[in-house]
Chain A
Amino acid sequence: MKGLVWAVVLFGVGGLAPLAPTPAAPQAQNDVSATGGRVRTYYVAADEVEWDYAPLGMDMETGKPFEGKSAAYTQPGPRQIGHIYRKALYREYTDGTFATRKPRPPQDEYLGLLGPILRAEVGETIKVVFKNNASRPYSMHPHGVFYEKSSEGSMYEDNVPHEQKIGAMVPPGATFTYQWEVPERAGPGPDDPSSIVWLYHPHVNEYKDIASGLVGAIIVARRGQTNPDGTPRDVDREIVALFSGFNENQSWYVQENIAAHISPADQKVLDKRDARLADPHMYVEFTGNGFAETNFKFSVNGYLYGNGPVMTMKQGQRVRWYLLDVGDVVNFHTPHWLGGNLVTYHRIRTDVFSMLPAGMETADMVPSVPGLWILHCQVDDHHQAGMAVRYEVLP
């Protein structure tokens, strides 16, 4: 597959590999170690960027310029930062020199601020060469996969000497290589589809690190059920959608963002915890226009009001949706597909999901209704604050 390019290193049994192009070797059945398995290597950096939550500059649901509520959440003002925030993102590079960013294929542009998708089939190993290009320590902590303490990417009291935990807090400018094995218990359970999704994110200060933007997806497919590039064979198209209200109040970059987008005069009178919880008529509402509230970016893959690249798929394709959710306590979300295209989730057919923070869910769709549709959070105040993207079913 050319859609995604991996540096594939054959591990241990390099000589055997040309003879065994088919996946599932018989002895692999009850082997949960990655010994002899394929290693997929990724080069991922934490980069600080100016992220634009609303690059199209208009509300793509209404087709109109931002006004009222949507203006409060996207336009800079006396007590609003607007749509551009300094953030830290995981981004993929072509090799260990970290000189060239790996371009995203057009059909994956919708991933937005998500890090690269890391893939593995059960039995393989994911190796991530991580370079911290940011100005403060970060890490990569994966969900689901097997790791030893050195590759956990988390610092806490676990009786492991700190010098063995460099990966838990990679200093600015430093590089660390994580080794994550993918045994059966990291792959789909008996009632899961042929692939499932896990999160990865830093774990230096989880609240602030995630609020700052560092998050990505790992997709693990069942043994013997993948194409050479690690995608599941029984699926034509995969979409990853992260529903998160990034709490920019808790970002490591909040001060820089205030400085960059709010005038010095306004800064002097700024109330940093200004949460009004009121609409323009002063009735209670969770999406007010105070500084604290408009710093909650209720986004999908880091885009507000449908401003992300459209997620495309074809009518009749077998489409797999990986839904993710991270953040603090307001992050209960109910992704809802408009257009009458239903998903199947553990034998249940639905068009709306319930998610809590660190939710990781996989659902299948065979879209039957062509058109350009909205996928949004059905928690009404989240939707009002911009939590929507567009997906298109091509005939």
Chain B
Amino acid sequence: MRGLVCAVCLFGVVCLAQLGATVAAPPSTQALPAAGGVVRTYYIAIEETEWDYAPLGIDIMTGQSFEGTAAAYTQPGPTSIGHIYRKAIYREYTDDTFATRKPRLPQDEYLGLLGPTLRAEVGDTIKVVVKNNASRPYSMRAPDDVFRPRHPARTGTALDAEGNVETNGEPEDMVRPGATFTYEWDVPELAGPEPRDPTSTVWVYYSRVNQSKDVASGLMGAIIVTRRGEANPDGTPRDVDREIVALFTAFNENLSWYLQENLAAHISAADQKALGNGSANFSDPQGYFTFAGTGFVETNYKFSVNGYLFGDGPVMTVQQGQRVRWYLLGVGDVGALNFHTPHWHGNTVLSHGTRRDTIGLLPMGTETVDMVPDAPGLWLFHCHIDDHMEAGMMARYEVLPAPAATADTKQPAR
């Protein structure tokens, strides 16, 4: 905590010192104790919720209600669950009483199903108090080949074939329903940006009692790590004005812990009897072959961005001329064909010195790219794999016009 206060003070001084160049603070790497940074503490509950993949009820490609393939992927029917699924998600609270949800800022609402974004500067420690409010055991895991857990972290394969925890092999960092566990990770250089990366980089945290089922059920979020000495007091990188996290994944609801409940809730008893749980037909409404098929299995692949289909999530907002950093996450199993190619309409990004408007993501792959948007407007942001797009994998981002020059002068210089 003292480190944080210290950093705040120093940062304030640097800002005040803008008039006199000679006051030049020591290199910012020395603003933090060499031995380490601050401890950043989060309170996160694991909760079960009825998640709505399509809250607007319209396909933004048409501006109309869902039809054809889009209807198969969003509307309940004899062989489809629809747009509402019971899921488990990470949600942030204000303190360890877990009485008050920490409200998400309006500009962060687009994060949707993702858990809170955890942040650190290299040298910091991330501490997460996790309370499991769900009905089954879960955990929270950061990639342990880069982050250094301080908590007991023996996780892995302590499950039987049905996914039940074996009594003799319970992972020590598993949190039983109703229990609380404190995770603590040191953030070494290895977890930070590489020399040729931008000033920050992104990782995925997720539940790993049974990784593929836990992730399919919805439990994941982002960890953003900023290079040592390059962060604001809140951990955000200093050379960036706006950050957006976008998760491109097909949640495989066939693997969700809640599949049976979802079936029971949204498909009639009569239809359930006739339903083949393994039925994939790989055909479009006209009967032609497509990978965006309309059978039970396929429509349970929710090809979503931050958990929203067909652009039904809150718009990601940025400003013309801002330095915008995009963190792209690709998560999920190969069975659901989880490689994705996010494509921005309207603007381009720089990725490792190369110009792109489309980025390839493989499962568990992440990419960090920078954009300085110059084209104002409400733009499409979608997976360019055509059948994924057909199944709804799209979002919208809006580039608001740059504020007038007069407004600019009122803002403190950065």
**Residues of chain A having any CB pair with chain B under 8 Å:** 32, 141, 143-144, 146-149, 152, 154-160, 183, 185-192, 196, 198, 206-207, 210-211, 247, 249-250, 254, 272-273, 275, 291-292, 295, 326-332, 346, 356-360
Contacts and interface: CB of A to CB of B under 8 A. Distances in A.
Contact of A328 (B374, B380, B387): B387
Given A156-B60, A189-B353, A247-B386, 19 more contacts: A141-B345, A143-B357, A144-B348, A146-B374, A152-B346, A158-B377, A158-B378, A185-B374, A206-B386, A207-B290, A247-B290, A249-B290, A272-B287, A273-B289, A327-B385, A328-B387, A330-B291, A357-B386, A358-B384
B61 A358 contact: no
A50 B375 CA distance: 39
B353 A190 contact: yes
29 contacts: A144-B355, A152-B346, A157-B311, A158-B377, A158-B378, A158-B379, A160-B378, A190-B350, A192-B354, A192-B355, A206-B390, A247-B289, A250-B284, A250-B288, A250-B289, A250-B290, A250-B386, A272-B287, A272-B288, A273-B287, A275-B282, A275-B289, A328-B385, A328-B386, A329-B337, A346-B354, A356-B339, A358-B341, A360-B358
A58 to B, nearest CB: 28
Interface string B284-309: 10011111100000000000000000
Interchain residue pairs A-B with the least CB separation, the first 4 = A191-B353, A358-B384, A292-B289, A207-B386
Contacts of A249: 288-290
A326 B343 CA distance: 12
Contacts of A188: 354-355
Contacts of A141: 345
Contacts of A359: 341, 358, 360
Interface string B253-289: 0000000000000000000000000000111100111
B352 A198 contact: no
A189 B358 contact: no
A330 B386 CA distance: 10
Contact of B384 (A149, A196, A275, A357): A357
B58 interface: yes
Interface of B: 58, 60-63, 281-284, 287-292, 311, 337, 339, 341, 343, 345-348, 350-358, 360, 372, 374-375, 377-380, 384-390, 396
Nearest to B344: A143
Nearest to B353: A191
Nearest to B196: A191
A331 B385 contact: yes
A200 to B, nearest CB: 12
A188 B351 CA distance: 11
A261 B230 CA distance: 64
B355 A187 contact: yes
A207 B287 contact: no
Q: What secondary structure prevails in chain A residues at the interface with B?
A: loop
B385 A185 contact: no
A360 B360 CA distance: 10
Nearest to A250: B290
A32 B389 contact: no
Given A154-B345, A210-B386, A357-B384, A189 B281 contact: no
Contacts of B347: 185
A44 B374 CA distance: 27
B212 to A, nearest CB: 19
Nearest to A187: B355
Contacts of A210: 386
Contacts of B60: 156-157
Given A275-B282, A356-B341, A206 B348 contact: no
Contact of A207 (B343, B375, B389): B389
B386 A211 contact: yes
A279 B346 CA distance: 45
B74 to A, nearest CB: 15
A275 B287 CA distance: 12
A143 B358 contact: yes
A213 to B, nearest CB: 13
A299 B311 CA distance: 32
Contacts of B377: 148-149, 158, 160
A261 to B, nearest CB: 16
A273 to B, nearest CB: 4
A32 B58 CA distance: 37
B339 A189 contact: no
A329 B282 contact: no
A358 B62 CA distance: 22
A154 B394 CA distance: 14
Contacts of B290: 207, 247, 249-250, 328
Nearest to A33: B374
A360 B356 CA distance: 8
A160 B389 CA distance: 21
B197 to A, nearest CB: 13
Contacts of A360: 356, 358
Most chain A beta carbons < 10 A, residue from B289, B339, B348, B396: B289
Given A249-B288, A273-B281, A273-B282, A144 B357 contact: yes
